[in-house]
């Protein structure tokens, strides 16, 4: 399937998807762009296409980089960037097969995403002006996002009938249209009830419309709009850490583990189909176990 060799549009589209769907930071996006642009430039020099690079193109380049003194971690990151790009390209039907399927990835340890501590989360949640309908909506959204560990795309896609206040759960449609039930917790449930009694009706011309958290014209809010709202409230709360659309999702997982949850529970709540995806949080759980051991063991 042919894109012109030096056409950057597939790379731009991939980076947009990475930011919107998975909450990649600016630093991560810059690293991906650097790797993918360098890979594309090398292919152009060899009259190869981005989606038809040839079986030996990457192994040869990795060998050259090793001889030039690049560290294992650098090559591993490069290969990880390209693998992720081609998986996305396959899903988008931009190519017929993954050209890197036979290339082995060096083993490196995953890095835990940036997160917020519990005091910072409290400041962020308290930032909206709850006397205004928009502020009440945003407070309810932030509370639900943190209480349930939702992806931003899952949050803005919630319908009014996704919430069951009697059972205290939210029905979430995740990746691959997989549905899961996630408990809200009393605090988030209280804010959702307050929002439904007041703010939602003031924001919608017709409250029978589906979106739980409407954007403009009673329609579903976009992920970009809510991300801008998060950044606005972070500034109000005096939080100057790097943030991503997944920041509260990472805080949700980290804080659960800090308070004794196990990885399997966190996996189910996050909607990860494979426990290996959740294992970026392993060292959080390990640190918790070490702290408990030190506190309770007679020789700790």
Residue 272 is a catalytic residue: yes
Report whether 75 contacts 103 (CB < 8 A).
no
DSSP conformation class of 183 = E
**Helix ranges (DSSP H) in 112-185:** 118-125, 133-148, 152-156
User: CB-based contacts of 176: which residues, under 8 Å, 6+ apart?
Assistant: 273
The structure tokens listed for 145 are 């996002």
- Phi, psi of 188, deg, nearest 5: -65, -40
How far, in Å, are 97, 163, 188, 215, 218 from residue 170 at the CA level? Answer: 37, 5, 11, 20, 21
Instruction: Single out the catalytic residue among 151, 200, 223, 255.
Output: 151
Residue 175 is a catalytic residue: yes
Residue 86 is a catalytic residue: no
Instruction: Single out the catalytic residue among 175, 216, 231, 241.
Output: 175
Residue 180 is a catalytic residue: no
Report whether 159 contacts 211 (CB < 8 A).
yes
User: CB-based contacts of 113: which residues, under 8 Å, 6+ apart?
Assistant: 23, 25, 244, 246, 247, 250, 280
Q: In what order do the strands lie in the sheet with 179-183?
A: 163-164, 169-173, 179-183
Q: Within its chain, how far is the Cα of 203 from the centroid?
A: 28
Instruction: Single out the catalytic residue among 200, 223, 229, 246.
Output: 246
Residue 281 is a catalytic residue: yes
Which residue in 168, 163, 245 sits closest to 210, CA to CA? 163
Residues annotated as catalytic are: 151, 175, 246, 249, 272, 281
């Amino acid at each position: 399937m042919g894109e012109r060799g030096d056409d950057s549009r597939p790379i731009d589209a991939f980076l947009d998807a990475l930011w919107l769907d998975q909450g990649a930071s600016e630093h991560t996006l810059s690293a991906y762009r650097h790797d993918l642009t360098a890979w594309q430039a090398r292919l152009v020099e060899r009259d190869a296409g981005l989606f038809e690079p040839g079986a030996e193109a990457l192994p040869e380049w990795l060998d050259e980089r090793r001889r030039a003194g690049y560290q294992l971690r650098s090559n591993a990151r490069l290969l990880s960037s390209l693998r992720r790009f081609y998986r996305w390209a396959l899903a988008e039907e931009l190519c017929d097969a993954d050209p890197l399927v036979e290339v082995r990835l060096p083993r490196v340890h995953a890095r835990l995403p940036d997160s917020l501590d519990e005091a910072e989360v409290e400041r962020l949640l308290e930032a909206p002006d709850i006397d205004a309908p928009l502020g009440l909506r945003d407070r309810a959204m932030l509370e639900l996002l943190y209480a349930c560990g939702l992806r931003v795309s899952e949050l803005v896609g919630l319908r009014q009938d996704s919430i069951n206040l009697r059972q205290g759960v939210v029905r979430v449609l995740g990746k691959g249209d997989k549905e899961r039930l996630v408990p809200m917790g009393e605090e988030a449930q209280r804010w959702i009830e307050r929002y439904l009694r007041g703010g939602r009706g003031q924001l919608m011309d017709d409250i029978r419309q589906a979106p739980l958290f409407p954007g403009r014209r009673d329609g579903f809010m976009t992920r970009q709009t809510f991300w801008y709202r998060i950044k606005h409230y972070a500034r109000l709360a005096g939080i100057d850490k790097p943030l991503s659309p997944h920041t509260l999702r990472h805080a949700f997982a980290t804080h659960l583990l800090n308070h004794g949850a196990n990885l399997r529970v966190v996996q189910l709540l996050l909607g990860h189909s494979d426990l290996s995806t959740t294992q970026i949080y392993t060292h959080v759980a390990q640190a918790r176990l070490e702290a408990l051991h030190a506190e309770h063991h007679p020789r700790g």
